């Protein structure tokens, strides 16, 4: 992962939230977010306490940094044919190749912990989001659709009540059938509802700021202490 404009060291914000100097440092990072992430802030009405994009990451190199988004992401777990089929379907129906150009996030801090240490994501400049009101995790749901297994996460994590044979998971037409049947559950660019859903959110952007949160509760501890964040919300 290439890092740009690295600030600080690989310490979580737990190192900053307990004294005035640390809060001031974090305020400085959030001022960069205010300057360069206006489309994101406007979509959430500047309410960071209610709407945060969480993501799990490994090998975090800094507390706060700018990260370019890979625009032709290669999937780690999803079969290539499924990845490409979903990507093409997203472009045909929503105008964006969401699977290969996105950071995968959630408004639910708990949801991301199995994917690494918790960070907050702030898309820089224009961006697009896609989530499903029904699908907690796209890949797991797709596997369930072809296996008929109950989800280990949520009862709603089912794309179909009539699972297909697993071999068809590698058949583009079968994948498209499942996606088409559930097209009405997918919503583009409604970030507040996406965060409220607790489901997987695909965030397609060119770059983003990353803030290493680490322990649960530290982000909201900072938000409760920062006068800058309170003034930002009230001013907008």
Helices (H) and strands (E) in the chain, counts: 9, 9
H or E element, residue 44: none
Q: What pLDDT was estimated at residue 52?
A: 97
pLDDT along the chain (236 residues), means of 10: 50 94 96 98 97 94 91 70 90 96 94 92 98 85 64 42 55 85 93 96 97 94 96 94
Q: What is the per-residue burial (b if ≥16 Cβ within 10 Å, else e) of 139-177? A: bbbbbbbbeeeebebbeebbbbeebbeeebbebeebbee
Q: What pLDDT was estimated at residue 79?
A: 74
Q: What pLDDT was estimated at residue 42?
A: 97
Q: What is the pLDDT of residues 174-188, one digit of tens each?
A: 888 888 888 999 999
Non-local CB neighbours of 142 within 8 Å, separated by 6+ positions = 78, 82, 86, 159, 169, 175, 178
Q: Pick from 6, 27, 3, 5: which is nearest to 17 by CA?
A: 27
Annotated domain spans of the chain: 4-229
């Amino acid at each position: 992962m290439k890092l740009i404009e690295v600030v600080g060291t690989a310490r979580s914000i737990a190192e900053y939230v307990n004294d005035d100097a640390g809060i001031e440092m974090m305020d400085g990072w959030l001022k960069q977010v205010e300057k360069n992430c206006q489309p994101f802030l406007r979509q959430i009405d500047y309410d960071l306490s209610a709407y945060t994009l969480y993501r799990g990451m490994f090998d975090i190199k800094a507390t706060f940094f700018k990260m370019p988004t890979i625009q032709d992401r290669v999937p780690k777990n999803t079969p290539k044919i499924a990845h490409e089929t979903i990507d093409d379907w997203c472009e045909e129906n929503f105008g964006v190749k969401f699977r290969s150009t996105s950071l995968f996030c959630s408004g639910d801090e708990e949801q991301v912990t199995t994917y690494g240490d918790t960070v907050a994501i702030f898309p820089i400049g224009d961006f697009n989001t896609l989530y499903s009101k029904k699908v907690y995790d796209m890949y797991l749901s797709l596997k369930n659709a072809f296996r008929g297994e109950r989800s280990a996460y949520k009862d709603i994590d089912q794309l179909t009540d009539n699972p297909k044979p697993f071999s068809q998971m590698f058949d583009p037409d079968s994948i498209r059938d499942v996606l088409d049947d559930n097209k009405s559950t997918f919503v583009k660019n409604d970030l507040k509802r996406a965060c409220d859903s607790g489901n997987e959110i695909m965030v397609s952007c060119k770059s983003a700021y990353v803030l290493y949160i680490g322990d649960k509760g530290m982000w909201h501890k900072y938000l409760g202490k920062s006068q800058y964040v309170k003034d930002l919300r009230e001013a907008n």
